[in-house]
Amino acid sequence: MLLLEGTGAKPDIVNSALATPLHIACKNNRVDAAKFLIGCGVDVNQQDEHGQASLLICCIHGHFNLARVIIEASLSGLLPEPLEVDAKDQRGLSPLNCAAIKGDFEMAKLLIINAQASVDQHSPKGCTPLLYAARGGYSEVVRFLISSGASILKQDEAGGTVLHHAIEKGHLEVLNIL
């Protein structure tokens, strides 16, 4: 940090893809580098050329421990701005959408319990995390989302519900939860 202070280098400078050093650290699961950058006061909500903030990048790549570092920094008041846990990228996907698409139960729990992510936030096509998890057959995530208050009645833009998606993909375990 002394080198940054002495040279005037900016820890949140962007490259040609509008990626900051924190974006790079999150993509490559560099926890210590991310902690250092957060300690320098970088904006964790800054988006790259794809509209992806650091937390979303962690969710896309399944970097649970790094996502936890960002959320804990927010809860501890170490961030200059509040964490935007439901921020969407250019595709309209939030961190919880990405966790549900991947069936990442631990990440979904972290986002909902620790960061209070919205369980019914939908993508541009109307898909909620519950619809994504049901479509993927991720019964543990489906069960958790429902117990966290996700609506089984939400429909995507084609009118599909969690029931439609589970039946279409043949996910009997998900059907048994419903």
pLDDT at 15: 79
Q: Is the dihedral of CA 27, 28, 30, 36 positive or negative?
A: negative
pLDDT at 8: 61
Tell me whether domains 1-84 and 88-178 share a fold.
Answer: yes
pLDDT at 2: 47
Domain boundaries along the sequence of the chain: 1-84, 88-178
CATH topology of domain 88-178: 1.25.40
Provide block-wise average pLDDT over 10 residues at a time, the chain (178 residues): 58 84 96 94 95 97 98 94 96 97 98 97 94 97 98 95 94 93
Burial label, 98 (beta-carbon count in 10 A; 0-12, 13-18, 19+): buried
pLDDT at 135: 95
Which tokens is 3 given? 């080198």
CB hemisphere CA count around 120 (13 angstroms): 11
pLDDT at 88: 97
pLDDT at 4: 58
pLDDT at 115: 96
CATH topology of domain 1-84: 1.25.40
CB of 88 closer than 8 Å to CB of 51: yes
